[in-house]
Structure 1
Amino acid sequence: MRVTASLLFASLLLLLLPSIEMRRPGKGRGLKGARHKLARDRVRGVGRHGRSPPSCSESVEAGDVFVDCQGRRLNAIPDSKTWSQEPKHLLFARNRIKVLRNGAFLGYEGLTSLDLQQNQISLVEEGAFEGLTQLTTLLLQHNQLGTLSEEALIPIPNLRYLRLYDNPWICLCGMESLIRTLQVPSNRHIGNYAKCAEPTRLKNIRLKQINPELLCQEPDPTSNQTDPAKPLEPSSIRGKSDATVVCHTYLFPEVRMDCSNRGLTEVPAGIPEDVVHVDLSHNEIRHLKAKSFNGARSLRMLNLSHNRMEHLDTGSMSGLLHLRELDLSDNGLHFIQHGVLEDLYFLSKLRLGGNPWMCDYSIHYMVYWLRLHPAVRHSGLQCHAPLQHVGESVEEYVHSYNRGCPKDRLHNRVNEDQTNTAQELQAELEEELEPSHLRKPKKYEIIRLS
């Protein structure tokens, strides 16, 4: 009996040995164990670089790799190996970066443009841009920089465009080397529009207009930080706003200017000629004056929606020969004055909704212009007044105007003069209905002798 029990125990032990061997740590976990380890490593951030990459987007346009990290609340520049391809353009606008440390862009040697505007950058160490020998465009506007040395720009020998405006520059001795660099004639696109915030005697004066030899001179304590020989430049609030300071400019993937929600009462001056898209929506503009966009020769898209515009001067759109899209919706326009649209040869899209269009003879110019430009896709042109035409499209109103009462006049004139043909009467009628400014001058006139 004891022998039988011993044999049974030995057999059971042999059956259990493979199971025990499979459960030893580090062995026999199989596919399920591998999946568990991979999931755990992902949670811990173990990967190619020891952390998960930020939620940025990568795209390729015209063969160039763009990395878009705008508005991601980043406080540092991610490692260059984070991205699947070597980027040519880095977009880091609207983040929380405060300091650019030495070597911040090591590994980004192929960069040609770097957008760091609208951060909180107050310090750029001298070696921050080390290695960026291919960089041509650097955007540092709308930050908290008070000083910047020329040494910080030395690692960027191919720099062609540098934006520094809307920073609280302290124009003292530490800025001497940078200001001298900005004033070199070949650097005409570097540091334009940047102004001093301190000291008081130099406030609102552009860096390019300051005599650098005076920066390291100790001011006279009795002068109270003012220079009577050099009056202060008037504040920009008193004059017309400068577009490059008031608006946010983005260079990639196209040059566009965001001037929306700025409380503007007129179009700001100095829109650069290479800007393609200008957004002036949600402001307080009531009157669009002549030559408002003088110099903006490359403009393709213009958004003037959600303002309070009631009147557009005849020359307000002059020079916009390449404009493709125009948004005038949600304003106070009753009609479009003759000549406003005459320069818009290539316009293809026109938004007009949300305006109180007045359906009387003043609206005819708009309809005739659209008839002469059938390629323009327009929307929102509906009568708001008078009461009998509310909700009717302006085209229907003009059609009914031309085909209503004139028919009776045509019938009466046929009865009065049977010698005139119907074609002659119709031609005369159309000439009477067409606005005078659209009529062609008569080369000759036939007078019938009875």
Structure 2
Amino acid sequence: MRLLRGLLLLLFLVFWAADARKGEGRSRRLMRGRSRARAVKRFAADCKEYSTNGEKHLDCQERQLKSVQSGWPEDIDHLLLARNRIQVLRDNTFSNFRNLRSLDLQQNEISRIEENVFSGLSKLTTLLLQHNRLQMLSEDVLIPMPQLKYLRIHDNPWRCDCQLDSLVRYIQVPSNRNLGNYAKCAEPTAFWGRKLKKLDADQLCTPQHENVEIPKPEHENLPAPIKEFDATTLCHTYMHPVPHMDCRNRDLKTVPADIPLDIMRLDLSINNIKQLRPKKFITVKDLKLLNLSGNSLEGIDTAAFTGLLNLNELDLSNNSLQNFPYGVLEDLYFLKRLSLGGNPWICDYNIHYLIYWLKHHRGVYHTGLVCSKPKEFQGWSVEDYVKTYNGECPKDSQSGQTADPAGITAQKFGDETEEEELGPIPYRGPKKYEIIRLT
């Protein structure tokens, strides 16, 4: 009987140990699943998700990403992946994001794009691939995106040969006027610096244009071609929420050339631009915000802002401006905000134009108009200085003088001053004299 009890107890202990091990395994698997879920959530949380105007954005910029990660929300409208470390875009990478309207992949290290990478993106209108390492791209890559309206592919080392033929012909179709506008050939030498939009596509597959070398005279090395920097090379372009270009802190000495025509916000702050030359913004007719703060601006040409009829905000703060030339603001019909602080304004007659213009544009909110010189007006608001300048002139100390509004003082000597009888009798008679002295 004791032996039977011992066997039963032993069997019970064996079954209990087995159940404990199973329970422990289940708990471990559950914990691993939870930790993986937390890891996915935690990774997804590294990207910023937000909504504007009813559209969902997922901002995964500057995350050191090498690929698109799992666990991201798939109902987003805009995906921002700029400034990461993505090198290859593989087939069906974005196939789950079927609501995407814009995809920002600029400033990565992309050198290869597989043919079906954009499959399923039938709603995509904006694709940004500038500032990467692409040398070739086929039209077939773009076919899954019938709604594509904006394609930015500049600042890539495009090799303009037969492999690029289909892409060149595709972006040159008249209806594709906003596709690949600023992209340029990097090689071969015969096509270096030429825009893809303006290439003769028939020449791309011509053998004599491949691997062309410039002949060099004996014992003489030709200098390397000088690269001309323009806005699309130096600056970063974004399309959402509105087309804008970021040229901050690029050590610019002039306004860069080839600013895209559709740009609405342009940031040129923290550079070394000393003079604004005429008509530098004349092609950017949709520009609404222009930031020139933190430069070394000393002078602005009268025609510098020609064409900016739609500009709403102009920031000229923290420069070296002392006054405005007459007429410099005349094209800014719809300006609403003018930032002028941090400039050494000189309160003399040359500052009057600015106050006159602001007086006649009362809807413009302005800040920073404070006299720096001369010493007696230092710290005054420029408006207060102009009021004192236009105040009543001092009374002339000489008796018998009256001042008229034109600044001319009239002095009369008697009401009936008679002229000496110097001529014949018919011409003699009383005359009135009025001596006018200009003050």
Verify the 8 A CA contact 2:91 2:116 in the aligned structure 1. Answer: yes
1:338 corresponds to: 326
CA apart distance, 1:185: 2.3
1:82 corresponds to: 72
CA apart distance, 1:318: 2.0
1:437 corresponds to: none
1:91 corresponds to: 80
1:61 corresponds to: 52
1:300 corresponds to: 288
- 1:312 maps to a residue whose letter is I
Check if 1:179 corresponds to 2:168: yes
- Distance in 2, matches of 1:154 and 1:222, equals 30
**SS of equivalent to 2:127:** strand
Q: 1:399 aligns with which of 375, 379, 387?
A: 387
- Distance in 1, matches of 2:120 and 2:211, equals 47
Check if 1:211 corresponds to 2:200: yes
| % identical equivalent positions | 47
Q: 1:48 to 1:86 in 2, by over 3 A?
A: farther
2:401 corresponds to: 416
Q: 1:366 aligns with which of 334, 354, 358?
A: 354
Segments of structure 1 that go 5 or more residues without pairing to the other structure are 1-16, 227-233, 430-448
Give CA-to-partner distance per residue, 1:10-48, whole Å, 9 cap, x none.
xxxxxxx9xx99x956779xxxx99x9987755x32359
- Distance in 1, matches of 2:348 and 2:382, equals 9
Give the aligned length. Answer: 386
1:433 corresponds to: none
- Distance in 2, matches of 1:293 and 1:369, equals 21
Alignment of 1:380-399 (within 5 A): 380-399=368-387
- Distance in 2, matches of 1:49 and 1:37, equals 16
- Distance in 2, matches of 1:102 and 1:413, equals 95
Verify the 8 A CA contact 1:113 1:137 in the aligned structure 2. Answer: yes
Q: 1:412 to 1:189 in 2, by over 3 A?
A: same
TM-score (norm 2): 0.79
- Distance in 2, matches of 1:182 and 1:303, equals 32
Alignment of 1:132-281 (within 5 A): 132-219=121-208, 224=213, 237=228, 241-281=229-269
Q: Cα RMSD (Å) of the superposition? A: 3.3
Q: 1:191 to 1:400 in 2, by over 3 A?
A: same
Verify the 8 A CA contact 1:193 1:245 in the aligned structure 2. Answer: no
State which drifts further: 52-61 or 253-262.
Answer: 52-61
**SS of equivalent to 2:207:** coil
Give CA-to-partner distance per residue, 1:234-287, whole Å, 9 cap, x none.
8552xxx53333321100011111112222222223333432210011122111
Verify the 8 A CA contact 2:125 2:149 in the aligned structure 1. Answer: yes
Verify the 8 A CA contact 1:132 1:156 in the aligned structure 2. Answer: yes
CA apart distance, 1:382: 1.6
- 2:47 maps to a residue whose letter is C
- Distance in 1, matches of 2:86 and 2:173, equals 30
**SS of equivalent to 1:208:** helix
CA apart distance, 1:296: 1.7
Q: 1:224 to 1:373 in 2, by over 3 A?
A: closer
2:425 corresponds to: none
- 1:408 maps to a residue whose letter is P
Verify the 8 A CA contact 2:189 2:211 in the aligned structure 1. Answer: no
- Distance in 1, matches of 2:97 and 2:86, equals 18
CA apart distance, 1:182: 2.0
Verify the 8 A CA contact 1:115 1:139 in the aligned structure 2. Answer: yes
**SS of equivalent to 1:186:** helix
Q: 1:290 aligns with which of 246, 256, 278?
A: 278
- Distance in 2, matches of 1:313 and 1:224, equals 44
- Distance in 1, matches of 2:211 and 2:48, equals 57
State which drifts further: 270-279 or 133-142.
Answer: 270-279
**SS of equivalent to 2:69:** coil
CA apart distance, 1:109: 1.5
CA apart distance, 1:102: 0.9
- Distance in 1, matches of 2:89 and 2:197, equals 25
- 2:284 maps to a residue whose letter is A
- Distance in 2, matches of 1:116 and 1:221, equals 30
Verify the 8 A CA contact 1:236 1:242 in the aligned structure 2. Answer: no
Q: 1:221 to 1:345 in 2, by over 3 A?
A: closer
- Distance in 1, matches of 2:287 and 2:399, equals 52
Q: 2:342 aligns with which of 348, 354, 368?
A: 354
Q: 1:225 to 1:213 in 2, by over 3 A?
A: farther
Q: 2:61 aligns with which of 66, 70, 73?
A: 70
Give CA-to-partner distance per residue, 1:328-347, whole Å, 9 cap, x none.
11211110111111222222
Q: 1:71 to 1:51 in 2, by over 3 A?
A: closer
CA apart distance, 1:362: 0.5
Q: 2:98 aligns with which of 105, 109, 118?
A: 109
TM-score (norm 1): 0.77
Verify the 8 A CA contact 1:112 1:136 in the aligned structure 2. Answer: yes
Give CA-to-partner distance per residue, 1:58-116, whole Å, 9 cap, x none.
2222222121212222111123x521x60111111111111101111120122121111
Verify the 8 A CA contact 2:285 2:308 in the aligned structure 1. Answer: yes
- 2:72 maps to a residue whose letter is T
Max Rg structure = 2
Q: 1:360 to 1:203 in 2, by over 3 A?
A: same
Segments of structure 2 that go 5 or more residues without pairing to the other structure are 1-12, 216-224, 408-432, 435-439
**SS of equivalent to 2:389:** helix
Verify the 8 A CA contact 1:204 1:235 in the aligned structure 2. Answer: no
